[in-house]
Chains A and B, each alone.
Chain A
């Protein structure tokens, strides 16, 4: 029996590898799209859709019916009071029925750390979001060791601090360009003009992606992470698959183009593609397109929403705690610690999902093999037993670095140092230029139970006295890396 299944497994692997290597990956994505549409037409699958309704106060809901998967929780400012109740009354909480099926919520800091550090019992496969992503991609974030370790190591070096150091000057220049082009005489959307723009530039820089096409990266990231099925989002199925196809085509072309340029004598850069091409482990990654695309998608999504929303969240938080902004201006050396504190306060990704691989007693509850377990980082980061006055932004907080937004254990965010660097540079450059960054009007929020994000946030800038007049647009914006 075992032998038979081993043989079958091997055969399957051989066939899959062959398919992967011979059928263009964009065609594979299109095929998956067609299957999905056919299933829906045949009524084998009902698409999820969410309509916003006012969420009651947590005290008015029976404990067993609390559903923190509601994609409007963050938008309505309800997550934190709900999480506070769960941490207090049911830190390992079971919801029998939700649009995403039954799941456990882990909401205390220590419990989350324990689950995250135990991949033998709590598997990251097959997905790390609550629902089921319509497009399956091979991403190491949703793989268990040992496969995870091999794949992660193969791309890890691209965000090794040594490479980041080489890129720091370039990243700073681009941040400066964005900030110098901002209007100071009228309110504007911080998300669009700063957070998305800088994140897009950095992603393009990291990937050596055509600079003028950087918004594609943002668009693909938003589309692929935002389906109703996966996270309660609003992406239409067709847009999601279109993004997948475009991403697959673009990055396959980019890989070949880069290889040709290198062969023609172009000096090696510090970008991700070059690093992959020059590393023994990854130089043939293009021959495993699903893995190649999956991991690129992961790096794009991982580097997009997270940094973007921390860039917005930081400004928003400092507006809510103006004394902290004064503290920052008085002592800019607090920036690195403040960056950690912003990442804690914002928690741009609210959770990661795991599946119990065996029956396990945990936190006084009995979790069965196969149960979905959600580690709510957003809650752990506001756990008073770990962070005193946890809801407040305190830029010189002693243990800000202990935040769990990067996760713990083998899946800990590999871009953490890059994220910190981007945010540090942004704040250094902001302090150089502006005396005030006032949020004018309530921000609007992304519909999702996964991404804690902002759609729009209007701000008005006050330049520092004596600083050269911003609003100068440089032509360097469109020049190559």
Chain B
């Protein structure tokens, strides 16, 4: 088992136990990471689990799909490495991954 770190916009870091096959959104909401809402329940249709993947990890995680883009690009805080946490499955290869949260979910 490994760890994934969610860093809030103000710098507060939250280490979450990696569960193979779970979405990062489910891991975050299950561990009470503030700032991840997941209003649509993981269907890439609300945009409230916006995360930003660190540059050195983007090769491993891959970039967002068109479906994710449709939602996350409406956020003023969208950047090239923005993803929806519900569309990113945890695997052992993601052990040590750090993702940042935008200032706001919307």
A162 and B103 contact, CB distance less than 8 A: yes
Chain A contact residue count (CB 8 A cutoff): 25
A408 and B46 contact, CB distance less than 8 A: yes
Taking CB atoms, residues of chain B closer than 8 Å to A156 are 74, 76
With contacts A116-B45, A117-B45, A161-B104 known, is A410 near B71, CB below 8 A? yes
A401 and B39 contact, CB distance less than 8 A: yes
B106 and A113 contact, CB distance less than 8 A: no
Taking CB atoms, residues of chain B closer than 8 Å to A117 are 43-45
B43 and A161 contact, CB distance less than 8 A: no
Taking CB atoms, residues of chain A closer than 8 Å to B74 are 149, 152-153, 156, 410, 414
Q: How far, in whole Å, are A136 and B106 apart by their CA atoms in the complex?
A: 29
Taking CB atoms, residues of chain A closer than 8 Å to B41 are 399, 402
Nearest CB in chain B to that of A403: its residue: B39
B76 and A160 contact, CB distance less than 8 A: yes
Q: How far, in whole Å, are A160 and B40 apart by their CA atoms in the complex?
A: 19
Q: How far is the CB of A159 from chain B (nearest CB, A)?
A: 8
With contacts A113-B43, A401-B37 known, is A161 near B71, CB below 8 A? no
A402 and B40 contact, CB distance less than 8 A: yes
Taking CB atoms, residues of chain A closer than 8 Å to B103 are 161-162
Chain B contact residue count (CB 8 A cutoff): 18
- Asked if A416 is an interface residue, CB under 8 A from chain B, the answer is yes
Nearest CB in chain B to that of A400: its residue: B39
- Asked if B13 is an interface residue, CB under 8 A from chain A, the answer is no
A402 and B39 contact, CB distance less than 8 A: yes
Taking CB atoms, residues of chain A closer than 8 Å to B37 are 401
- Asked if A283 is an interface residue, CB under 8 A from chain B, the answer is no
With contacts A152-B74, A156-B76, A402-B39 known, is A161 near B45, CB below 8 A? no
Task: Encode B35-59 as 1/0 by CB contact (under 8 A) with A.
Answer: 0011111011111000000000000
Q: How far, in whole Å, are A113 and B103 apart by their CA atoms in the complex?
A: 27
Taking CB atoms, residues of chain B closer than 8 Å to A145 are 70
Q: How far is the CB of B70 from chain A (nearest CB, A)?
A: 5
Within 8 A of A (CB), among B10-64: 37-41, 43-47
Q: How far, in whole Å, are A410 and B76 apart by their CA atoms in the complex?
A: 14
Q: How far, in whole Å, are A408 and B67 apart by their CA atoms in the complex?
A: 12
Contact among A113, A160, A399 for B104, CB-based, below 8 A: A160
- Asked if A471 is an interface residue, CB under 8 A from chain B, the answer is no
Q: How far is the CB of A272 from chain B (nearest CB, A)?
A: 15
- Asked if A412 is an interface residue, CB under 8 A from chain B, the answer is yes
Q: How far, in whole Å, are A156 and B71 apart by their CA atoms in the complex?
A: 13
B76 and A113 contact, CB distance less than 8 A: no
Contact among A152, A412, A417 for B45, CB-based, below 8 A: A412
Nearest CB in chain A to that of B77: its residue: A160
Q: Which 3 A-B residue pairs are closest in the complex by CB-CB distance?
A: A161-B104, A408-B45, A117-B45
- What 8 additional pairs, Cβ within 8 angstroms, besides A149-B73, A161-B106, A410-B70? A113-B40, A116-B45, A117-B44, A145-B70, A153-B74, A157-B76, A160-B106, A412-B47
